[in-house]
Structures are given as structure tokens and as C-alpha cells.
A and B are shown apart, each in its own frame.
Chain A
């Protein structure tokens, strides 16, 4: 009787299985359709790489993909740098003036509707007379994604055993060296995970990029979006599958990094 309250019931299993099926089936179907030889979605024309060929000979699409990858790489790097610094400030800075504003500014973009963030950044760029293109999108994405990096790194810092840093300082390290030699190696996996999250978020964004980019420099999601509005095109299935494959690789690396992180955290604890 007592155990029935905590046991894994059939209802639990069913809801879990249905939930996961709901999350994954559409993606699986999309990937399968990307290999469909037929132009019509209704007809299965056999397996084919035709739409992948089409993508790799589509100059405009390739340019957009390149633009997206470079924006994602640069903005993720900037965001990781700034986000890690912000996380250290929040997790280790104790109380300081403007802390509430700081954390507020860092948490609200996580849920802020993208139309507002996009519009406000565009108005800033217009006021600054900045030429819109690669750098404006990169700055916009850095601003959004550094908040995610901050959350990831800050939660790692919060669970870290602070006595390690204190011991290093008792043994004569100044705070900066204690951070670089003790703390940083322990949070590297979280930083790596943060970079990858920032990269994928940047690669995904349509709305903010639409506001902040200029004519002639569309990102991949902007191009996909304008194609999708006109209807389903098999080539888009292929592009989407390639993006999913790229993200899958990133996820594997990130989860490996976080596994490394927890393993290290355990081995470091008895020290």
C-alpha cells in the first residue's frame, strides 16, 4: 500500500512514452522525407539524395548558411566570454550596487518576446547609424545568448565547493590565480555547454535576425522562413536534416562535456 504511492505506474510509463513520441515523430518524418526522390510529398519515390544536390548547388542558400554559421560562431564566442564573466560576478561577487538590475537584465531576455528584443536593437542601430549586416546580427545574438550562458555557468558555479577556492587562497594564491587554477578548470565543461547552446540558439533565430540584418545579408533561418511561407519545398527538408545533423553532433559533444564535468566534480570533491 505504502509503495503504491511512489511506484512507477503504467500511467506514468504511457504518458512518458506518448510525450516523447510527440516530441520526436515530426522530426523523424521530416528526416525521412528529405531522402524522398519524388517532388510530391504524397508520393514516396524511393530513396534519393536529389534534394541535397539541389541545396549544394543553390548559391543563395549556401551564402545564407555560411552567414549563419559565422554569425553563430562569433556571437557564441563573445557570448561565452561575457556570459562567463557575468556568471562569476553574480555567483561570487556577493552583494554589489546594481546587482538586482544586472540579474534582471540577464534573466529577462530568456523570456522576452523576440519581436521586442529585435525591434529595440534595430532602433538602437538606426540611431547609431550602424550599417546593418553581419555585425549587427552578431551583436544582437550575443546579447540574447550570453544570458543563457550566464544561467548555465552560474548554476555550475553555485554547486561548486567553494572551500576549494578558499583553500587555494589560504595556500597563497591571489584570487585571480585561484580562479584560473582551481575554479576555471572545474567549470570548463559548463562553459563548453554554454558555447554550444549559444551557437545553436543563434543558428535558430529568425525574428531578431530579421530585424537587425540589412539587405543582401540574410541568414539561413530567414531564407528557410521565406521559403516555408511559400509552401513546402523538398530542398528545405534536406537543409533542415543537415542542420539537425549538425546540432546532433553538437549535443553529443556537449553531453560528453557535461559528463566529464560531473565526473570531475566527484573526483575533485574528496580533495
Chain B
């Protein structure tokens, strides 16, 4: 026990460098986003008027505070474009998460039922696509879904359709891309809880007369809920802010918030509005982020 305490001090010392790094490059930047979201747009480089300058002392700071403007946030609330893209992001994220659960659960369940030595192989097979470039995997789908791509060729050859179907630039293509990209994120936490489950519980349920389906609903599924929660959050949070997949696969008539932010920033060069959109997006994500953080910590504590 005392050795532990002796070890703790240098371990804490080791954390100083990464701590400072994260404060400087993760926490402080959010301050800048907040600050610029409250400033006015300017046609200059950088394209905003500085809200305050740290070098000008307290009086200037007070004067600057008086100038803080919530115009950008007012714009977010008034302009339909933003509200619609927030709503769309939420709808897309919820729908995708549900579809991911429906597809991911049977796969994770199958993995957990494999003989022990095959489970490692199956897990490896699920992790590999996660390592493979995400952009490349989306691009692979463009190859297949394009006008004269493989999918249309097969459908035409089988006489299922008589003319090529437009797949690209549709919502179905976007959902396909999202589900494809995030599937490993859903499977792995589900598998982690399902594989740890005590098989004797199911046998007991069977002995007490439950059918396999009943045993699943009454025993397996409730016990796997922490995995369901972790997987759902791990998918939902990044999907809300997703940019690349909707940009490459969905049509351009309705945007997700990540695309709107990108458009404001790169095309319209309106940094304050882009920052305001980022702040609003972050506020939206705080509850799921807190929940996810709690789940993570509980899991790490349980693993110890």
C-alpha cells in the first residue's frame, strides 16, 4: 500500500506535460471560439474584429465587454438555415444510431457466441476497417454507387431495374456511408459487454422455462444496456457534427450543421458566425458528452 503511494507522486508528475498540452491546445482554443463567436464580422484578414486585446489593460477590457455582441447567436436563431441544419443533424444522428444498433447488435451477439479462439479473430476483423482510412472507405462506396457503378450494373443485369438508379447525392447513400463508417464503433462496446456476460444466467433462465427468445429479452438485453449506451453515444456524438460523409454522399439541398459551419467558414469567410455555430453545436453535445464521460470512467474503474 505504501509503495502505491510512493509511486503516485512521480506518476502525477508525469501527467504535467500532457496536462499543459491539453489545456493549451484543447481547452484554450474553445475560449477563442467563444470569444470570436461574440465578435463582429469584418471584411479583413482575419475576418472578424477582435473583441479585446489582452495587452490593453483593464479599462480597455471593460470597454470591450460592453461591445460583446450576441448578433451571431441571434442570427442562428432567426435564420432558418441554421435551425434546419441543426434539426437535420439531430434527425440524421438519431436515425443512424438506431440503424447502427439494429445492425450492430446481431453482429456483436454473433461474435460473443463464437468459440473463444475465434472471438479474437472476429474482433480483429471488425477493428481493421476502423484502422483503414475512413475517407477511402467512403470513396469505395462512391465507386460502387455512381451512375455507371457496380450496383447499377448488377441491378440492370438482374433486370431488377430498367434504367440506372440515382444513388449518389441521396439521403440513402449518406445513411449507408454513415452506418458503414461507424459500425465498428457500435459493435466493439456491444461485444465488450456481451462477451463478459455469464452464460450460466442464460442456462438458469432456460432451466426455469424461458424460451431462448424470452431469455434474450429478459436476461441478455437488459444486461447489455451499458454496451448499448456506450455504442450509441460513441456513434451519436460524432455523427451530429459529421461533415465528410454528408458532403460526399448526400445532396446539397439540405445541410447538416457540420456542413453549414464549414460553408460559413471556408466559403463565406464568416468566422464569427461559424464560431457561433460551433458553440451552439457544442452546447447541444454537452449532455451526451457528460454521459459518455461517466460511462467511460465507470468502465475503466470496473476493469481495474
When chains A and B are docked, how far (Å) is the Cα of A9 from the Cα of B202?
Answer: 15
Does B292 sit within 8 A of A, measured CB to CB? yes
Question: What 1/0 flags go to A39-59 for Cβ under 8 Å of B?
Answer: 011100000000000000000
A7–B215 Cα gap in the complex (Å)? 13
Q: Which chain A residues in 143-197 approach chain B with CB under 8 Å?
A: 143, 146, 150, 154-155, 158-159, 162, 165-166, 169-170, 175-176, 178-179, 197
Beyond A111-B233, A115-B258, whether A124 also contacts B29 by CB under 8 A is yes
Query: What separation, in Å, do the CA atoms of A160 and B228 have in the docked complex?
Result: 27
Asked if B128 and A251 sit within 8 Å, CB to CB, the answer is yes
A247–B132 touching, CB < 8 Å: yes
Closest to A229 in B: B248
CB–CB B7/A92 < 8 A: yes
**Are the C-beta atoms of A6 and B199 separated by less than 8 Å?**
yes
* Inter-chain contact total with CB atoms closer than 8 Å: 300
Q: Which residue of B lies closest to A178 (CB)?
A: B7
Taking a contact as CB atoms under 8 Å apart, the answer to whether A41 and B103 are in contact is no
* Interface-central residue, A117, A127, A250, A251, by most chain B CB under 10 Å: A127
Candidates B5, B126, B148, B281; contact of A113 at CB < 8 Å:
B281
Smallest CB gap from B235: residue in A: A111
Chain B residues with CB below 8 A from A221, complex form? 133, 135
| B73 close to chain A: CB less than 8 A | no
Q: How does the 8 Å CB contact mask read for B146-168 relative to A, with 1 for contact and 0 for none?
A: 10111001000000000000000
Within 220-251 of A, Cβ neighbours of B (below 8 Å) are at 221, 224-225, 228-229, 231-232, 236-237, 240, 243-244, 247, 250-251
Is B297 close to A, CB under 8 A?
Answer: yes
CB distance from B80 to the nearest CB of A (A): 21
Establish whether residues B8 and A94, one from each chain, have CB atoms under 8 Å apart when the complex forms.
yes
Residues facing B in A96-112 (CB within 8 A) are: 96, 98, 102-109, 111-112
Q: Bin chain A's interface residue count.
A: 35 or more
Please determine whether B3 and A154 come into contact, CB atoms closer than 8 angstroms. no
B3-A170 in contact (CB<8A)? yes
Interface residues on B, range: 35 or more
Instruction: Tell whether, in the assembled complex, residue B19 and residue A98 are in contact, meaning their CB atoms are under 8 Å apart.
Output: yes
B133 lies within 8 A of A169 (CB): no
| B residues in contact with A232, CB < 8 Å | 139, 142-143, 146
Instruction: Give A115-137 as 1s and 0s: 1 = Cβ < 8 Å from B's Cβ atoms.
Output: 11101110110110000000000
Interface of B is mostly: helix
Partner of A166, one of B3, B126, B131, B149: B3
Cβ contact within 8 Å between B15 and A102 = yes
Whether A69 is near chain B, meaning CB under 8 Å from some CB there, is no
Residues in A whose Cβ lies below 8 Å from that of B25? 121, 124, 139-140, 142-143
Please give the distance in Å from B151's CB to the nearest CB on chain A.
10
Asked if A207 is an interface residue, CB under 8 A from chain B, the answer is yes
Quick check: A5 and B140 within 8 Å, CB to CB?
A: no
Closest to B27 in A: A105
- Residues on B with beta carbons closer than 8 Å to the beta carbon of A250: 131
Q: Which of A250-266 contact B (CB under 8 A)?
A: 250-251, 255
A82 and B146 contact, CB distance less than 8 A: no
Q: Is the CB of B303 within 8 A of A159?
A: yes
In angstroms, how far is the closest chain B Cβ from the Cβ of A180? 11
Extra inter-chain contacts (6) besides given A30-B136, A166-B7, A204-B133, CB under 8 Å: A26-B141, A120-B32, A127-B32, A166-B4, A221-B133, A228-B135
Could you list which residues of chain B lie within 8 angstroms of chain A, going by C-beta atoms? Answer: 3-12, 14-15, 17-19, 21-23, 25-30, 32-33, 36, 46, 103-104, 106-107, 109-111, 113-115, 122, 124-126, 128-129, 131-137, 139-144, 146, 148-150, 153, 180, 183-184, 187, 199, 202-203, 205-207, 210, 212, 215, 233-234, 237-238, 240-244, 247-248, 258, 261-262, 265-266, 271, 274-275, 278, 281-282, 285, 289, 292-293, 296-297, 300, 303-304
Chain A residues with CB under 8 Å of chain B are: 1-9, 11-13, 15-16, 19-20, 22-24, 26-27, 29-30, 33, 40-42, 82-83, 85-86, 88-94, 96, 98, 102-109, 111-117, 119-121, 123-124, 126-127, 139-140, 142-143, 146, 150, 154-155, 158-159, 162, 165-166, 169-170, 175-176, 178-179, 197, 200, 203-204, 206-207, 210-211, 221, 224-225, 228-229, 231-232, 236-237, 240, 243-244, 247, 250-251, 255
